[in-house]
Amino acid sequence: MSVLDQTFKDFELIVVDDGSTDSTGELLPRFAGALRMLRQPNRGVSAARNLGIASSSGALIAFLDSDDAWMPDKLNRQVALLKSDPGSSICHTAEVWLRNGRIVPQKEIHRKQGGTFFHRALERCLISPSSVMIGRELLDKVGWFDEELPAAEDYDLWLRITAFHEVQFIPEPLVVKYGGEANQLSVTTTAIDRYRIRAILKILEDPLLALDYRAAAVAELIRKCRIVAAGCAKRGNEQEAETYLELAREYGSDSC
């Protein structure tokens, strides 16, 4: 386990078994002295992460999805960075993508960054949950993962954070992401933009959202609505397509 190989050792390790049907329940007892295992009926990734957050006692929280791995110095580098800047509450790192044992080149649109990047965060999810370290106080302030979202729950959280907070970034790839697994949400979830639309609608309800951020969010909402509508129409779901087109028209007229 890449967590146990970390050079930074002062952490609590909580594993949430979200109703797994594989051999997780048989393997984890071998590490009983090194971790605390929590079990719940399958409720989805947001509920699993939230249970881990609720059960934790640390001031800093990091996540690791079952299909990712950390480089040995990941926690050490992030703890040092956040401690060096008391005003920072979140940082993430670059990552390596592997598929079938080969490195997958990352396009410019997937480029990670630090600082202020709400506009780019609207387009796509730019922070991997497995790469992030975040202060518990910040999580409590902005809210935890939305359990009503079966997918794009991380996109939703990053919008709520990047709208009001800067993000620190470590450019070295300290996370390995393994792609191509049949059970990954990106594989099993159809039309994930449906859930990103719901996340944008949520951030638009925030009265403190800056006007230029609101304009960018509306523009991205309209774009995603049209994309989803086109997909619905292609599959013969004309009524659902019209629902998204109507939403695009509604926000298009509001922005005039």
User: Which CATH number belongs to the domain containing residue 121 in this structure?
Assistant: 3.90.550.10
- Residue 3 φ/ψ, nearest 5 degrees: -65, -45
| Whether residues 184 and 229 fall in one domain | no
Of 158, 188, 218, the position where a domain reaches its end is 188
pLDDT in tens, the chain (256 residues): 799 999 999 999 999 988 877 766 677 777 777 889 899 998 999 999 999 999 999 999 999 998 899 999 999 999 999 999 989 999 999 999 999 889 999 999 999 999 999 999 999 999 999 999 999 999 999 999 999 999 999 999 999 999 999 999 999 999 999 985 544 444 434 579 999 999 999 999 999 999 999 999 999 999 999 999 999 999 999 999 999 999 999 999 865 4
Query: Apex CA 173: angle with CA 203 and CA 88, to 5°?
Result: 45
| Whether residues 145 and 215 fall in one domain | no
State pTM to two decimals. 0.91
Structural domain boundaries, residue 215: 210-254
Contacts of 12 (CB under 8 A, 6+ apart): 36, 56, 57, 58
Return d(Cα 21, Cα 249) in angstroms, integer. 44
- Nearest CA among 65, 59, 61 for reference residue 46: 65
Q: Please write the tens of the pLDDT for every residue from 226-243.
A: 999 999 999 999 999 999
Contacts of 144 (CB under 8 A, 6+ apart): 46, 49, 50, 53, 157
- Nearest CA among 151, 130, 154, 153 for reference residue 66: 130
CB contact at 8 A, 148 and 199: no
